[in-house]
Structure 1
Amino acid sequence: MVNVDLDRIREALPDRASVKLIKYRGKSPAIECKVQFPSLSEGDFDMVLDWQREIIGKENILEFYTEETGGHWYVFLKRVPMEFRGATDADVNSFSGMEVVKDGKRNTELPVQ
């Protein structure tokens, strides 16, 4: 199983950055990265992408997608079994599309299936 450490990805970015585990358009697993003003320079951006390839494993990355270099990008992941370490409540909830975790615990208000 592939292990992806979201804390290491967060540490590789400036303090003004946010990292979130998502399902892009409800289907493709991805990591969304946003860097607030000023965004990364082109050289810094390339360096960060190299770090992400190292942390995630380039063999597990389908592609990177960005419309503006250094400000906002997605790391699309291959659909292989992965374990995400350092996932926050927001990561789990955004990935699942519902509030599965609330205050660090399983949300007991969800209907049981």
Structure 2
Amino acid sequence: MTNKTFEKAAFAGGCFWCMIKPFKEWEGIEDVVSGYMGGHVDNPTYEDVKKGDSGHLEVVEITFDPSLFTYEKLLELYWQQIDPTDAGGQFHDRGHSYTTAIFYYNEEQKKAAE
């Protein structure tokens, strides 16, 4: 039996529910969970984020097996889901919480995303 080593990645790309499906259906991706990152309020509620008071973005956190699906492949898939030139949100989702961002968990991810 092999011990798999999973990593995490997090991307903001508009409505988090819209961002789950493109990532969920690939071999090597263990889980995709929606949530919030980047704000200044601890444990924000949906209402906090919706009002725009918390500074958070809607994100998906992806748990993946880098031996089957690399971080670079995640980035390629992410770029296909967003319009990086739209500072007002994504597609029909408007407002700060729907803007794009890449959150990194280690220096390798930071370098790959630059």
Which bracket does the TM-score occupy, shorter chain normalised? 0.3 to 0.5
* TM-score (norm: length of structure 2): 0.39
Q: TM-score, normalised by structure 1?
A: 0.40
Structure with bigger strand share is 1
